[in-house]
Chain A
Amino acid sequence: MPSISLKKPTVAYAKNGVGAYVLQCRKMNCLIQSMILQLQSEYLKKDLIPFAKANPEVEIMIKPRPSKHPCIRGWYLNGRDKVICVRKMKPSEIGKVAEYIRDHSGQKATTRFKKPVISTTESVRGIWSPFHTQKHVI
């Protein structure tokens, strides 16, 4: 039998994407080694400005970070952040990293074993699978 909560509901829970979808990445820091490095500066000049224009939901900052590896750090609405190093990467590769950080949910990347699905309307019998039922006969 499904667990029945006896509490009086107090909050309407968010279902992101049911009405409007809110992008979870709120801020992106491009931490660069120095402007002299050619590959990075090429990315900054050519690709970053169109990227920022296409994603107005994300606040983009460039921050010098001398004598350290260049990296991109994303800040998320759930308060977490994610950093990826872009050392020795080509401009196209840096672009992919930036897109990955933008699309990430910000949640901690862990594999859930006991309860693989987080849901407000849980099914007692788990998720229906087409591969574990009788074959459909036409």
Chain B
Amino acid sequence: MYQKDLLLKKLRTMLHFSNVFPIKKAFAFITFIERKRLARNYFHTFKNPLFDRRRKLTQKPYAPITHEKDTITPSLSALGARLRLSFSNPELLLQVVTDESYQNTDYESNKTLSILGEHVCRLFVTEYFHIKYPLMPLPALEEVIKLYTGQQTLLSFGKEVGLSLVIRWEKITDLKKAQQSNAALPLSTTPGIALMRSIHAIVGALYQDKGPLAARNFVHSYLLSREVKIDLVYEKSCAKLPKRELSLLMQRQGKIPPISRMLKETGRNTNSPIFIVGVFSGTEKIGEGYGSNIKMAEFRAARDALKSYYLTEIKDFILPSDVVNEDVEYGPTEIGDTPVIV
């Protein structure tokens, strides 16, 4: 920038005194400076052993490194280290990131591994939540599993870990050619789907290559460590009629039917009242809720009572997949009761 400005300034001054300094001469002078600059750059290229001397000046001085077909790039091996993947065969790492739409490869695509991995992923997540929350109703459990293994979560995981930078995927633009070459070619693959398949394939490859415990370790440490507000999931997927459900639940458990009692209230005759209602079974308080009207407060109180029952958490449990470890003796946890039929 600086040199260009300088040149322009010089040109202007020369044009100003054009009667003294002919325009032709001025341009000649500029080209001379330009040549000098180029020569200096060229000198640098000679000095630098990293630089190829035979390269012409018209070319970009440092072109990006192009890798050969089917080589493990530095970014891919860095990803392997980031996810702590130590496959017995390093080429498996390459296969795992190769989508079936990628043409320039001799390896098989990751499709089979991804199908295996998808099921493995779901198995470990389901197993964990089914044992941790034995009383959780099915719609909520399904929603939680979907949240942990679903597309949106996996996509954000892939981006956060840098997998989206290394997946080998191609957009098939020439539809006719694709149909001619291979009828079964995936025409609708998007980068998101390719990314999701790649994550599944990592789990599948770990399962096949390193065994179920390694795959489970991956799922637990990278996917199950993510956060979902489970009570919110329960609220949204179940408990549409909490008062009725709670009274049926109490009836089935042989407890005294629930009664709502006002605990606190303020500003009943204003435009912004607040009521706090408790639900009682006999003398035991089983839930509490707030609301700007009494009906909503009762609703929330009943929902709170249901939540505290259905989302009972079990701590220090053994998972069925722990049996792979020979030291651990599996003792099943109690299977939870089914939710009431409303």
Q: Do A and B come from one complex?
A: yes
Are the CB atoms of B62 and A56 closer together than 8 Å?
no
| A63 partner residues in chain B, CB cutoff 8 A | 62
Verify A20–B44 contact, CB threshold 8 A: no
A19 & B221 in contact (Cβ 8 Å cutoff): yes
Which of A10-18, A90-98, A128-136 faces chain B? Answer: A10-18
A22 at interface by CB-CB < 8 Å: yes
Check if A23 is an interface residue, CB within 8 A of chain B. Answer: yes
Q: Could you list which residues of chain B lie within 8 angstroms of chain A, going by C-beta atoms? A: 40-41, 44-45, 47-51, 62, 74-75, 77-78, 81-82, 84, 147-148, 152-153, 156-157, 160-162, 165, 220-229, 232-233, 236, 290
Contact assessment for B47 and A34 in the assembled complex, using a CB-CB cutoff below 8 Å: yes
**What residues on B are CB-neighbors of A62 within 8 Å?**
50
Return chain A residues, CB-CB under 8 Å to B152. 10-11
Q: Which residues of A contact B147 (CB under 8 A)?
A: 9-12
Report yes or no: B226 in contact with A14, Cβ–Cβ below 8 A: yes
A111 at the interface (CB under 8 A from B): no
Mind listing 30 A-B residue pairs with CB under 8 Å?
A5-B232, A8-B233, A9-B232, A10-B147, A10-B152, A12-B147, A12-B148, A12-B153, A12-B228, A14-B160, A19-B220, A19-B225, A20-B221, A20-B225, A22-B82, A22-B161, A26-B82, A27-B75, A34-B48, A35-B49, A35-B50, A56-B77, A59-B74, A59-B75, A61-B74, A62-B50, A64-B50, A66-B44, A66-B47, A77-B161
Q: Is A72 an interface residue (CB 8 A)?
A: no
Listed from nearest, the 4 A-B pairs whose CB atoms lie closest are: A19-B225, A56-B81, A19-B221, A12-B226
Contacts A20-B84, A66-B41; A77 near B162 (Cβ below 8 A):
yes
How far apart sit A120 and B232, CA to CA, in the bound complex (Å)? 13
Query: In the bound complex, how far is the Cα of B231 from the Cα of A8, in angstroms?
Result: 11
Contacts beyond the supplied A15-B226, A26-B82, A60-B74: 10 A-B pairs with Cβ under 8 Å? A5-B232, A9-B228, A11-B153, A11-B156, A12-B147, A15-B227, A19-B220, A20-B221, A63-B62, A64-B48
- B93 CB to closest chain A CB (Å) equals 13
Instruction: Give the distance in Å from the alpha carbon of A17 to the alpha carbon of B229 in the complex.
Output: 18
Closest chain B residue, CB of each to CB of A16: B160
Residues of A within 8 A of B (CB): 1, 5, 8-16, 18-20, 22-23, 26-27, 34-36, 56-64, 66-67, 77, 120
Expressed in whole angstroms, the Cα–Cα distance for A10 and B153 within the complex equals 8
Task: Among A5, A8, A59, A66, point to the contact of B78 (Cβ < 8 A).
Answer: A59
Q: Chain B interface secondary structure, helix, strand, loop or mixed? A: helix
B81's contact among A9, A18, A57, by CB below 8 Å, is which?
Answer: A57
How far, in angstroms, from A1 to B276 measured CA to CA in the complex? 13
Minimal Cβ-Cβ distance residue in A for B81:
A56
Residues of B within 8 A of A1 (CB): 290
CA distance A12 to B84 in the complex (A): 22
Query: Are A8 and B236 touching (Cβ within 8 A)?
Result: yes
Complex alpha-carbon distance, A34 and B82, angstroms: 31
Which A residues are in CB contact (< 8 Å) with B81?
A: 56-57
Give Cα distance in the complex from A59 to B220, angstroms.
Answer: 26
Q: Are B160 and A77 in contact (CB under 8 A)?
A: yes
Q: Is the CB of B82 within 8 A of A19?
A: no
**A35's closest neighbor in chain B, by CB?**
B49
A14 touches B44 (CB 8 A): no
Q: Whole-angstrom distance from the CB of B9 to the nearest CB of chain A?
A: 21
